[in-house]
Amino acid sequence: MKKVLIAKDIHALLEKDKSFFDRTDLTVFVAATNDEALEMHRTKRVDLIIMQLDMPGMTSEQFCSLIREDTSLRAVSMIMVCDNTPAAVERSERCRANAVLLQPVHPLVVMVKAQQLLEIAARETIRVLLSVRADSLSRDESFYCRTRNISATGMLIETDTPLAPGARLSCFFYLPNAKKVQVSGKIIRTIEQTPGDEDHQYGVMFTDISPEVRKLLNDYVEFSSRKSRPQGS
């Protein structure tokens, strides 16, 4: 069971949608101040801390220094979220975080970086997390879904958001190698739900994909296939 400590404002951003942090093999703690976060880490010994620069309490430099210089606390990965200014970036780098993310930060970026630092393999049903906007919904409304499989021509997605056949989608996601992907597609197939299952599954065909993105997806599929093959085959 992995343990993650998240700054209150970042947690509020992430909990708007179902996400990687809803996994049952993760325990999530939330802190409103650096002092509270330090005390939580001392008692819980978390595996990952996702913090914001300039949280209330002690400075982030003090907070990180106390952790990195304590042999019983230093074995933790840290993500620092800060303003997109040279001064803020410089301060964040001095905190010796494993990753620095600039605001406004997309929840999907936080999820992907957290998964990398926690070294948790994505389960089959959440190989890739996507942020999706459907033309049939409000223009300001997006939602998260998961892929069951993906290729350079389309993907099978799973979501608790009902979608109409033929709906056109704009999809934004990061592959496990941190490569950003943006494609457009449309629903060409609806899979019948299993009784008691709240999630819907849809087959999506890509309708607008650049040659660069197509190559990224081909490379990703090939890499995934090699990993799943038995040794010697």
Question: Global pTM?
Answer: 0.61
User: Would you say 47 and 2 are in contact if contact means Cβ atoms under 8 Å apart?
Assistant: yes
3-state DSSP assignment of residue 1:
coil
- C-alpha distances (whole Å) from 89 to each of 97, 183, 189 are 11, 30, 45
Q: How far apart are CA 124 and CA 213, in angstroms?
A: 22
3-state DSSP assignment of residue 132:
strand
Please tell me what DSSP assigns to residue 84. Answer: S
The token pair at 131 is: 């942020």
pLDDT at 208 over 50: yes
Q: How far apart are CA 63 and CA 38, in angstroms?
A: 7
pLDDT band of 137, cuts 50, 70, 90: low
What does the pLDDT look like over 71-128, one tens digit per residue? 999 999 999 999 999 999 999 989 999 999 999 887 877 877 887 788 765 444 445 7
Sheet holding 26-31, edge to edge: 26-31, 2-7, 48-52, 77-82, 99-102
What does the pLDDT look like over 30-39, one tens digit per residue? 999 999 999 9
- CATH code of 2-118, in short, is 3.40.50.2300
Torsion angle in degrees (nearest 10) through CA of 108, 175, 210, 227: -160
User: What mean pLDDT comes out for the span 211-231?
Assistant: 72
What single letter denotes the amino acid at residue 123? R
3-state DSSP assignment of residue 174:
strand
Q: How far apart are CA 107 and CA 110, in angstroms?
A: 5
For helices 34-44 and 60-68, give the axis angle rounded to 10 degrees: 20
Query: For 148-210, where are the alpha helices, taking DSSP H only?
Result: none
pLDDT for 125 equals 43
pLDDT for 151 equals 82
Domain ranges of the chain: 2-118, 124-228
Residue 77: partners with Cβ closer than 8 Å, 6 or more residues away: 47, 48, 49, 98, 117, 118
Spelled out in words, what is the top-level CATH class assigned to the domain 124-228? mainly beta
- Name 216's bridge partners: none
**CA 98 to chain CA centroid, nearest Å:** 16
